[in-house]
């Protein structure tokens, strides 16, 4: 009986890792739509978000079922509660990818990102995609060391965010208000994807160790 229960717990983590992979793809496609000015790719990201939403519902249903039927305690209870919080973070990451895609779609046939600030946005997108992929591995492997390392990657995102603000507020900005708003929003969306990735990784750390992850990194 307990073996079957733990198999179900493992299944939840497999599903969570799968959702992270879906989010990683959504981030990559949203960025492609943004930098290429592709309404078609943007629409794919927006329409595919329902798959992430449905996957979240499945994880929640399975988790609540185990909570009600098995009445777990200690480490098992910690795992299930953490799973509910992780799936919420992952869904939000998918929503943020949709926000990026919507900005891309809104500016077609133009591109939302001016050429001179594209390198910063491209780097932010790469870091967000990288972190999402790492989170999928961290969940699958319950890798505490990799979860701790993700804080260092997140610092790179914070540095890029600060750089984007300097570009936006600098004297050389000549693109007007509308692109400035887009750039501010895009920077925020990518930064929040990274923040949610760190939150998921920290919850894996908590599941494995029973201790809250250090935020001193």
Of all residues in the chain, the percent with pLDDT exceeding 90 is: 83
Specify the pLDDT at position 73.
74
**Is the pLDDT score of 112 beyond 80?**
yes
Q: Are 39 and 29 in contact (CB under 8 A)?
A: no
**Is the pLDDT score of 114 beyond 70?**
yes
For residue range 35-88, what is the model confidence (pLDDT) as tens digits? 999 999 999 999 999 999 999 999 999 999 988 887 777 888 889 999 999 999
Count Cα atoms within 13 angstroms, Cβ side, for 27: 33
Q: Are 138 and 146 in contact (CB under 8 A)?
A: yes
Q: Which two tokens stand for residue 13?
A: 């983590």
pTM for this entry: 0.93
Distance CA 16, CA 13 (A): 5
For residue range 129-155, what is the model confidence (pLDDT) as tens digits? 999 999 999 999 999 999 999 999 999
For residue range 150-175, what is the model confidence (pLDDT) as tens digits? 999 999 999 999 999 999 988 889 99
Q: Is the dihedral of CA 20, 25, 31, 33 positive or negative?
A: negative
SS percent in the chain: helix, strand, coil, step 5: 85, 0, 15
Domains and CATH numbers, the chain: 2-209 (1.20.58.220)
C-alpha angle 58/62/68, rounded to 5°? 145
């Amino acid at each position: 009986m307990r073996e079957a229960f733990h198999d179900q717990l493992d299944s939840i983590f497999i599903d969570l890792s799968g959702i992270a992979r879906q989010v990683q793809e959504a981030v990559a496609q949203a960025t492609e739509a943004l930098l290429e000015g592709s309404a078609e790719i943007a629409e794919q990201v927006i329409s595919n978000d329902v798959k992430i939403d449905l996957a979240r519902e499945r994880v929640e249903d399975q988790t609540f079922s185990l909570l009600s039927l098995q009445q777990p305690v200690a480490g098992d209870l910690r795992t299930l509660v953490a799973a509910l919080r992780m799936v919420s973070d992952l869904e939000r990451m998918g929503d943020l990818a949709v926000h990026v895609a919507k900005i891309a779609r809104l500016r077609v046939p133009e591109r939302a990102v001016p050429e001179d600030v594209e390198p910063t946005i491209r780097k932010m997108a790469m870091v967000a995609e990288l972190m999402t992929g790492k989170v999928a591995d961290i969940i699958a492997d319950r890798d505490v060391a990799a979860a701790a390392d993700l804080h260092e990657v997140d610092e790179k995102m914070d540095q890029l965010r600060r750089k984007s603000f300097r570009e936006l507020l600098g004297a050389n900005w000549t693109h007007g208000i509308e692109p400035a708003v887009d750039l501010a929003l895009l920077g925020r969306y990518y930064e929040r994807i990274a923040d949610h990735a760190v939150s998921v990784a920290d919850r894996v750390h908590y599941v494995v160790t029973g201790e809250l992850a250090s935020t001193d990194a």
